[in-house]
């Protein structure tokens, strides 16, 4: 059995991942603030176990309750695989540092940084000592290593997520039956977040027009394509624990595997 835990499941990359994962042999755990009824119906029609949680992961207690509930339903055997995909995230607040909405910034940091820490911590504890394929994938962003005016909170949370990934990797390298932990900057993808960016007041985000041009020139990736690359490589042994990779690097790993099998 393959077990997948996917956060931010209602739309974007999360929804694309789940749609592709709804196949026999998988047991899925999805979480978002709002239910994606289409995914629930698809899973039911194919008799694929999907446990869907309507949960606000920006609330620490709810994040803890969610992940403990997930592991109360999982019974791992010697031939199983398990992956946690920390995909949930938010962009707001978008503003100059001098006018940050601190309440929104707190919610942001809880969702983008603290929640992956909580979920990963429980995942590592619950899977310790099991000699099976185990993966934590943190969805990061190019904003973790490129500064954008107006995105101080977003850039900081993603940079923090990358460093958390690297530290977790160091710790796992010292463990027996370790978990592969890595972060992915998936590139610019046509999601709800991109729609928000394109409608942001330019005085709050001076580089807005750059993203509008990318959209108009058709240079945004399709979330389904990104999901396919992720799922084709997530258990690949060439992924280095603690690494932070770009989508092009992950694509190269996928192509290398395809060539090796050809």
What's the mean pLDDT in 127-142?
A: 97
CB atoms within 10 A of CB 174: 7
Residues facing 244 on adjacent strands: 183
Check residue 169 and give its pLDDT.
98
What's the mean pLDDT in 105-127?
A: 98
Strands 180-185 and 81-86: unpaired
Q: Are 261 and 51 in contact (CB under 8 A)?
A: no
What's the mean pLDDT in 160-174?
A: 97
pTM of the full predicted structure?
Answer: 0.95
Q: Are 185 and 246 in contact (CB under 8 A)?
A: yes
Q: Percent of the chain beyond pLDDT 70?
A: 98
Respond yes or no: is residue 215 known to be catalytic: no
- Catalytic residue, chosen from 3, 4, 53, 154, is 154
Q: From CA 208, how far away is CA 197, in angstroms rounded? A: 7
pLDDT of 154 > 70? The answer is yes
Average pLDDT, the chain: 95
Domain limits, the chain: 2-188+222-261
pLDDT of 57 > 60? The answer is yes
What's the mean pLDDT in 4-23?
A: 97
pLDDT of 261 > 90? The answer is no
3-class DSSP state of 202? coil
pLDDT of 260 > 80? The answer is no
pLDDT of 231 > 60? The answer is yes
| Topology of the domain comprising 2-188+222-261 | Rossmann fold (3.40.50)
pLDDT of 262 > 50? The answer is no
Check residue 88 and give its pLDDT.
98
Q: Percent of the chain beyond pLDDT 90?
A: 95
């Amino acid at each position: 059995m393959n077990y997948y835990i996917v956060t931010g499941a209602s739309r974007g990359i999360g929804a694309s991942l789940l749609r592709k994962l709804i196949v026999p042999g998988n047991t899925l755990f999805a979480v978002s603030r709002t239910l994606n009824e289409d995914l629930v119906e698809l899973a039911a029609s194919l008799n694929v176990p999907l446990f869907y949680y309507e949960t606000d992961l920006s609330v620490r207690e709810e994040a803890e309750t969610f992940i403990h509930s997930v592991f109360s339903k999982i019974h791992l055997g010697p031939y199983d695989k398990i992956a946690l995909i920390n995909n949930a995230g938010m962009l707001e607040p978008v503003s100059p540092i001098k006018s940050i909405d601190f309440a929104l910034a707190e919610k942001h940091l809880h969702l983008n940084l603290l929640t992956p820490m909580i979920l990963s911590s429980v995942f590592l504890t619950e899977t310790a000592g099991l000699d099976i394929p185990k993966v934590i994938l943190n969805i990061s962003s190019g904003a973790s290593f490129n500064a954008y005016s107006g995105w101080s909170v977003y850039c900081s949370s993603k940079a923090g997520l990358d460093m958390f990934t690297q530290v977790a990797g160091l710790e796992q390298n010292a463990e027996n039956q370790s978990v592969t932990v890595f972060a992915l900057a998936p590139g610019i993808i046509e999601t709800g977040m991109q729609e928000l960016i394109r409608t942001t007041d330019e005085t709050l985000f001076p580089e807005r027009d750059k993203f509008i041009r990318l959209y108009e020139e058709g240079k945004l990736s399709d979330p389904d394509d990104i999901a396919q690359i992720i799922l084709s490589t997530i258990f690949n042994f060439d992924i280095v624990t603690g690494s932070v990779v770009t989508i092009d690097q992950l694509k190269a790993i996928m192509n290398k595997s395809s060539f090796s099998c050809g």
